[in-house]
Amino acid sequence: MPLEPYAYALRIRLHDTDAAGVLFYGHLFRHAHDAYEAFMEHLGFPLKDLIGTGASALPLPITQAQARYERPLRLGDRVRVELRVAAVRRRSFALDYRFLDEQGQACARARTVHCLATQDGAGLPAGLHQALAERVANAGLTAMEGTSATPGDESLPWERL
């Protein structure tokens, strides 16, 4: 059974909005990444350790991102982000984000795909792979499938949100 989604809270601030009075669409990806950073720290893999040239460096650039906007978000709105692991492959994973307002209504959804950018062909660290696999929320996209993925992980899901 999948775990509960990881929850992250935020407020819509003035700089998030634009002259149309609502969240500028691009800023949703900033908030998704904030949630991702909190999630990775929660898993024991804070980004500050992954970035750079230290022993724990692990280049995990985002290779795909998408969002769907359903209800406008406005200045002062309190937003709850629910982060779920959509899929895990040997060298990549996909995360889903739901942005819920105070009434619990979905205002936006997003997905990011993260791929290991190392050259040696090694897979994700075992601890990270396991932590992600335990949280795979989508029954149709199991971590088992991922283990047989091609090195490029071209098959990672990228369907309609």
Which residues bind to a copy of itself, rule: CB under 8 A?
11, 13-15, 17-22, 24-27, 29-30, 32-34, 37-38, 41, 46-48, 51-52, 59, 61-70, 72, 74-76, 112, 158, 160-161
Residue 143: other Cβ atoms inside 10 A: 19
* Measured distance CA(31)–CA(115) in Å, rounded: 20
120 catalytic per annotation: no
* Measured distance CA(74)–CA(103) in Å, rounded: 14
C-beta of 1: minimal distance to a copy of itself in Å? Answer: 30
**Options 16, 18, 49, 153, the catalytic residue:** 18
C-beta of 72: minimal distance to a copy of itself in Å? Answer: 7
Q: Which is nearer to a copy of itself, 3 or 57 (CB)?
A: 57
C-beta of 86: minimal distance to a copy of itself in Å? Answer: 14
Q: Are strands 92-100 and 6-11 parallel, antiparallel or unpaired?
A: unpaired
* Measured distance CA(64)–CA(94) in Å, rounded: 9
Q: Which is nearer to a copy of itself, 49 or 145 (CB)?
A: 49
Instruction: Specify whether the CB–CB gap between 21 and 59 falls below 8 A.
Output: no
Indicate which residues carry an active-site annotation: 18
